[in-house]
Amino acid sequence: MCRSSSRSPGRTGGRPRSAAADAAILEATRAALVELGWSKLTMGDVAGRAGVAKTTLYRRWAGKNELVVDAVAVLFDELELPDRGSLMADIEGVVVQFAALLERPETKTALMAVIAESTRDEPLRERIRTSIVERQKRLVLAGRRRAQARGELPESPASAAGTDDLIFDVIAGAVVHRALVSAEPVDAEWVQRFTALLLGGLSAAART
Amino acid sequence: MCRSSSRSPGRTGGRPRSAAADAAILEATRAALVELGWSKLTMGDVAGRAGVAKTTLYRRWAGKNELVVDAVAVLFDELELPDRGSLMADIEGVVVQFAALLERPETKTALMAVIAESTRDEPLRERIRTSIVERQKRLVLAGRRRAQARGELPESPASAAGTDDLIFDVIAGAVVHRALVSAEPVDAEWVQRFTALLLGGLSAAART
DNA sequence: GCCTTTCGCTACGCGTCGTAGCGTAACCCC
DNA sequence: GGGGTTACGCTACGACGCGTAGCGAAAGGC
């Protein structure tokens, strides 16, 4: 996750990295994102908030991009998919959760910024993929399997893996676009209309 | 669009702003985005490329954000929706076009960056909405009307305006997410699968 | 030909970047 | 409990981009 994991693993002895400092830095980064946003966030400011020296930050993260990815990634692990009884209810539930997560200023401001930077930074893109994107596909996987167990979707349709990726891009993309680009509220009515659209497409695909 | 439009309109006399300089600056901004990306793009560099003084940039744009929005907005006007004979073909066509536009480095890198900044900058968000988002909803509107004329969609379904917005968020969001977040290719197979999903949802909604 | 506005140019103070060097503190191993 | 090793806080530094001010010159309207 952070630079410390890329140190030579066979080493011994020496003063270990302070885990408390790691936590304080990531927390300070999120706080700074809330107050300052992306462009006005500085490494020196984060260091001051966390009560550590600026050099300590640079010993662990290469720069602002990597630091913010790690600070924000854990927020996405809050997403859950409890069994709400039907595929429709499950989808609506996760959409509402995701929209609420994107409403938080540290999330919305950081997510788009690091994605923008990742278009010119291949290692950063890979970091985002592994730390955020791939981890949350678990939600789609769980939802599909549960719907299959209920009989709402056919067992193992052709090329299920590609379908999971497609569903993920549609759900996450639509919610992000609605919330951040169109800048209109993800309210109950929109969620219901979107879910109905997606569900209609899924059942239509199941029929063929 | 640029600051010049917000000057006192009733003025008279004086040396007029150079339209050639405007064009050169916007072109230089796109070139700089391709080479440097967002974070390494500087106002001084753009001025140098455009062959104008740095002060000239600041006379017309408040900063990097506003400049880049104007430089990128015109690229989205290239999108067209020729009649391809069916709703399915029309959707596939516009998705392919949009994906190609997002493949261009100046587009992908700038779009996400200005959206990120807009989460903390209300005027910038409004500028993006009027310059980019609202203008491209014309594509959804044209596609729906054409499909209705063909009999593929029912005339004036309940709350068509909200549906147009929903379709726009789903299409644009899914393509952006696939291309920039998941960072996987928007190839012919994906386009067909996505279009089938969307089309299934639309026809399912039309049946109720 | 006068007035107004823009233009290119130079220079400036300010803040952030990312690094280097130092002395000190914390920990592991023997 | 030393000795070795590594992290830490602190300070200082050069480099660079920011955004503005002031100047003389150029370009157009009336």
Question: Which pLDDT value is given to residue B8?
Answer: 47
**B160: buried, middle or exposed (CB in 10 Å: 19+, 13-18, 0-12)?**
middle
- Mean pLDDT confidence for B121-149: 94
B106 with B191, same domain: the answer is yes
Q: How confident is the model at residue B4 (pLDDT cuts 50, 70, 90)?
A: very low
Best B120, B144, B163 member to test A by mutation, with max A CBs in 10 Å, is: B120
Q: Is the pLDDT of residue A45 over 70?
A: yes
Which residues does chain B have within 8 Å of residue A133's beta carbon, measured at their own beta carbons? 181-182
* 3 state DSSP class of B116: helix
B183 lies in the same domain as B141: yes
Give residue for tokens 């536009």. B101
Of B183, B196, B197, the CB nearest to A129: B183
The CA distance from A177 to the nearest CA of chain B, in Å, is 5
Q: Give me the number of domains chain A comprises.
A: 2
- What residue type is A145 in one-letter code? R
B11 Cβ nearer than 7 Å to chain C strand: yes
Q: How confident is the model at residue B13 (pLDDT cuts 50, 70, 90)?
A: confident
Nucleotides of strand C lying closer than 7 angstroms to a protein CB: 3-11, 15-21, 25-29
Q: What is the pLDDT of residue B98?
A: 97
User: What local confidence, expressed as pLDDT, does residue A163 receive?
Assistant: 92
Structural contact between residues A2 and A21, judged by C-beta atoms closer than 8 angstroms: no
Residue A3 in domain: no
Rounded Cα distance between A184 and A190, Å, is: 10
Looking at residue A35, which CATH number applies to its domain? 1.10.10.60
- Chain B residues whose beta carbon lies within 8 Å of the beta carbon of residue A204: 196-197, 199-201, 203-204
For residue B159, what pLDDT is reported?
63
* Co-location of B98 and B180 in the same domain: yes
Euclidean distance between CA atoms A132 and A77, whole angstroms? 8
**Chain-chain contact of A119 with B112 (C-beta, under 8 angstroms):** yes
List all residues 6 or more positions away from A51 whose beta carbon is below 8 Å from its beta carbon: A24
Cβ contact, residue pair A200, B200, below 8 Å: yes
Q: Does A2 score more than 50 pLDDT?
A: no
pLDDT value of residue A159: 63
Is residue A115 less than 8 Å (CB to CB) from chain B?
A: yes
Report CA(B7)–C1'(C2) in Å, whole number: 24
Distance CA A101, CA A88 (A): 20
Average pLDDT of the residues of chain A: 91
pLDDT band at A13 (very low <50, low <70, confident <90, very high): confident
Instruction: Identify whether B9 is part of a domain.
Output: no
Closest residue, CA to C1' of C15: A42
DSSP state of A159: T
| CB contact at 8 A, A65 and A114 | yes
Helix (H/G/I), strand (E/B), else coil: A189: helix
Residue with smallest Cα–C1' gap to C26 = A15
Q: Residue B155 burial (CB < 10 Å; 0-12/13-18/19+)?
A: exposed
Q: How confident is the model at residue A157, as a pLDDT?
A: 64
> Is there a contact between A184 and A178 (Cβ–Cβ < 8 Å)?
yes
Distances (CA, A) of B111 to B116, B125, B157, B189: 9, 12, 33, 25
Question: Cβ(A79)–Cβ(A20) under 8 Å?
Answer: no
A87: in domain: yes
Question: Which has the higher per-residue pLDDT, B181 or B7?
Answer: B181
Between CA A125 and C1' C20 the distance (Å) reads 31
Could you give the residue ranges of the DSSP H alpha helices within A85-187?
Answer: 87-103, 105-118, 122-128, 134-150, 160-176
Question: Is A2 part of a structural domain of the chain?
Answer: no
In this predicted structure, the answer to whether residue B71 has a pLDDT above a threshold of 90 is yes
| B182 has a chain A CB within 8 A of its CB | yes
Residues B26 and B125 in one domain: no
Which residue's C-alpha is at the least distance from the C1' of D17? B42
- Among B107, B193, B170, B63, smallest CA distance to A186 is for B170
Does residue A11 surpass a pLDDT of 70?
no
Token couple for B146: 């054409």
Residue of A nearest to B194 (CA): A166
- By C1' distance from the Cα of A53, the closest nucleotide is D9
Give yes or no for a contact between B60 and B70, defined as CB atoms under 8 angstroms apart.
no
Q: Which residue type does B71 have?
A: A
Concatenating the DSSP letter of every residue in B168-203 gives HHHHHHHHHIIIIIS-----HHHHHHHHHHHHHHHH
Q: What is the mean pLDDT of residues A177-182?
A: 95
Task: Give yes or no: residues A89 and A171 share one domain.
Answer: yes
Q: Are residues A138 and A44 in the same domain?
A: no
| A158 — pLDDT class (breaks 50, 70, 90) | low
* CA-to-CA separations, A123 to A97, A118, B119, in angstroms, rounded: 29, 8, 25
Helices A105-118 and A64-76, axial angle in degrees (round to 10): 130
Spatial separation of the C-alpha atoms in residues B80 and B135, rounded to whole Å: 12
Of A166 and A157, more confident: A166
Instruction: Say if residue A197 is in the same domain as residue A95.
Output: yes
Please provide residue A120's backbone torsions phi and psi, each rounded to the nearest 5 degrees: -120, 15
| Token pair belonging to B81 | 């929706």
b/e sequence A146-184, b meaning 16+ C-beta within 10 Å: bbbeeebbeeeeeebeebbbbbbbbbbbbbbbbbbbbbe
> What are B154-184's pLDDT values in tens digits?
987 666 778 999 999 999 999 999 999 999 9
Q: Cite the DSSP H helix spans in B12-133.
A: 19-36, 43-50, 54-60, 64-76, 87-103, 105-118, 122-128
- Same domain for B26 and B81: no
Q: Is B181 among the domain residues?
A: yes
**Better pLDDT: A208 or B54:** B54
The answer to whether A16 and A59 have CB atoms below 8 angstroms apart is: no
Confidence of residue B56 (pLDDT cuts 50, 70, 90): very high
Q: Is residue A29 part of a domain?
A: yes
Task: Say if the Cβ atoms of A177 and B181 lie within 8 Å.
Answer: no
- One-letter amino acid for residue A80 of the chain: E
**Residue B67 near chain A (CB below 8 Å):** no
What is the CATH classification number for the domain harbouring A131?
1.10.357.10
Would you state the pLDDT for residue B6?
42
A92 and A159 in a single domain? The answer is: yes
What letter represents residue B58's amino acid? Y
Assess whether pLDDT exceeds 50 at residue A127. Answer: yes
- Best interface-test mutation with A: which of B131, B181, B194, B198 has the largest number of A CBs within 10 A? B181
Domain that holds residue B55: 17-60
* Cα A61 from Cα A46, distance rounded (Å): 12
Whether the CB-CB separation of B159 and B86 falls below 8 Å is answered with no
